[in-house]
Amino acid sequence: MVWISKSDVISFWSCPLCWKESKEEQIQEFVFPMWVGSMVHDFHNFFWKGVRLESGEVQLPLTPDYFMKNKLVSKYILNLVMMELNRWEEIKKLNNIDIEKLFYPTFIEKRIEVSSEELKGIVDRVEWIGEKNYRIVELKTGRCYLDKHILEISFYKHILEKKYKMNITEGRIDYPTLMETKSIIFNDEIMNRTMDIVKIVKSKIEHNDFFISDENLCEEHYKELKEKGVI
Ligand SMILES: [Zn+2]
């Protein structure tokens, strides 16, 4: 048996041979950090540590100086700030006694796992959306590739429900610009597909089987196997 993470599932499902190579590289040499991604995640922590709700207004811990120093992620930051201000306006309309609880994420960059199934990951954000319902938010710094991202948040939904007994009813995927942000309403079809993929990937990794089908190989590995006559 072997533990698998969200990244394993996504990477293996995209191309099992790329996954295998990345694992071998990790053992041999230092892997370059995804530094833009890290900056956005760092900012996110900073944002939620510093943000204060005072006299009904959101006080953002941002100065023009911060934007100057972090030009590369400023587009992303502005998107996040806009989204949180909009969300705050919506929350205020609810007349809920727990508006602060509703505004602040329940989890930020939280390491989650289900040991009985050997599944793990780090969820970017989980927000309470009223009553017993929660939303998963995933931050993306790259370009839009929705199908893969739905798989990611569904993987987290499964762990959060199993481990924390949370009722995850929706998901949101935030891209660097507001226009690209996607909301997902989960259903059985999405969850069944996700768990089928997780089962396949887990079993293949456990059995050292690095082949799924023509569709699940990157162009480079597809060509390589074709030339060798394997497929
Ligand atoms: Zn590949």
118 and 157 both lie in a single domain: yes
pLDDT of the residue at 147: 82
Q: 6-14 and 16-28 helices cross at what angle (nearest 10)?
A: 130
Q: Has residue 26 been placed in a domain?
A: yes
pTM for the predicted model, two decimal places: 0.80
pLDDT of amino acid 32: 42
Per-residue pLDDT of the chain (231 residues; tens, 9 = 90+): 789 999 899 889 889 998 988 887 665 444 444 566 676 677 777 777 767 766 556 666 666 676 666 666 677 777 777 777 777 777 778 776 677 778 888 998 899 999 999 999 999 999 998 889 999 999 887 667 778 899 999 999 999 999 999 999 999 998 777 677 888 999 999 999 999 999 999 999 999 888 766 678 888 988 988 898 877
Residue 72 has a pLDDT of: 61
Distance 225 CA to ligand 1 centre (A): 10
* Residues 129 and 173 grouped into a single domain: yes
* CATH number of the domain enclosing 21: 3.90.320.10
How many Å lie between the centroid of ligand 1 and the Cα of residue 140? Answer: 22
Q: How far is the CA of 16 from the centre of ligand 1 (A)?
A: 7
Helices then strands, counting H and E runs in the chain, come out as 9, 8
CB of 37 closer than 8 Å to CB of 141: yes
Determine the pLDDT at residue 37.
67
- Report which of 180, 181, 153 is spatially closest to residue 169, judged by C-alpha positions: 153
> Are both 50 and 75 inside the same structural domain?
yes
How many A from CA of 104 to the centre of ligand 1? 40
Distance between Cα 169 and ligand 1 center (Å): 34
Domain count of the fold of the chain? 2
Q: Given this model, what pLDDT does residue 169 score?
A: 95
What is the 58 CA–ligand 1 centroid distance (Å)?
45
Name residues whose C-beta falls within 8 Å of residue 164's C-beta, 6 or more positions apart in sequence. 112
* CA 184 – CA 172 distance, rounded (Å): 6
Give the Å distance between the CA of 227 and the centre of ligand 1.
14
Are 68 and 114 contained in the same domain? no
CA of 46 to the centre of ligand 1 (A): 36
pLDDT of residue 30: 43
Ligand 1 mean position to 224 CA, how many Å? 9
Q: Is residue 113 within 8 Å of residue 163, measured between CB atoms?
A: yes
Residue 220 covered by a domain: no
Contact 173, 182 (CB under 8 A): yes
